[in-house]
Amino acid sequence: MTNETLETHFKFMRMALDQAEAAHRAREVPVGCLFVYNNTEVVSTGSNLTNDTLSGIRHAELVGIDEILERFNLTSSENKYDAERQHKIYELFSKIDLYVTIEPCVMCGSALRQIGINRVFFGAANDRFGGNGSIFTINHDDLGIEHVSGNNSCFDKTYESYPDFGREEAIILLRKFYVGQNKKAPNPQTKEEDSRLLRFDQFPLMKYSKYITKKEFLKMYGESNVHRWIRSESGEDLTEAEGMFIENWIDPLMPLKKEVKLEMDEWQRKIQEGVINENRDHDRGNDVKRIKISGD
């Protein structure tokens, strides 16, 4: 690693999670983000506004990008291509990192590449629409764009995307949202009588090699975390349920927020006292096992 530390990234991701929590309180899909200039200055924040605006494209990343363009007077009222303006945008974003609680979708991943973002740090994988490795690798793909110099330069820059920063909390926020159901959704995905169980003990396996190389992993996360790479590649200490690999040992890369840790402890207490039936999903093929939280 350089002179930056994991703690620096944790600090910024904590702020992004705060944005996601605010979105959840506003009954929006709880995704939050933060744009940081030169690894020091927060220049923009964003959270999902799809419900408030009734627009499916008002994702957190695009909200944050728009805020930056307005702040630095880089918007275009005529919406026409301007090489000089584009160059200023590219130069600015080449020094900006994005911290976002969920992996950017294909749309946002493409937008980030077009503006020349420096790096992306995200929490949980986007297994349905991920554009940074889960489904597509928009951030790395060779788009066949010819690069030329001068005012006619085509600004196309790949970027690295680092996963697992605040992953567990990002997932829990999404679960809280979907357990409560989205009242504005046009086609409800669950029946009124189908009560959902908010789980605090099962998280999809983070497979780092889908997003970065082992060399990139060691440079960013350090040798002390190499066990995470090995575990994700070998599947060791994992159980399979409904075709999905589930971690059998909760060992967060980023320290959990105190309130979340207390919620997890309360979940375990209720299971032990029989208040929650952890085997309620057996008829659907789930094999739910008791989970030990690292550090207990």
Q: To the nearest 10°, report the CA torsion of 247, 253, 254, 255.
A: 70
Pair of tokens at residue 178: 């979907």
List beta partners, residue 42: 36
Of the residues 21, 28, 61, 168, which is catalytic? 61
Instruction: Give all strands (DSSP E) within the chain, no chain letters.
Output: 32-37, 41-47, 96-102, 119-124, 160-162, 238-241, 244-247, 249-250, 292-293
Q: Reply yes or no on whether 61 is catalytic.
A: yes
- Least Cα distance to 166 among 101, 233, 263 occurs for 101
**Amino acid, res. 207:** K
Pair of tokens at residue 51: 């419900």
Pair of tokens at residue 205: 């396996």
- Least Cα distance to 47 among 21, 10, 86, 68 occurs for 21
Contact 46, 70 (CB under 8 A): no
Catalytic machinery residues: 61
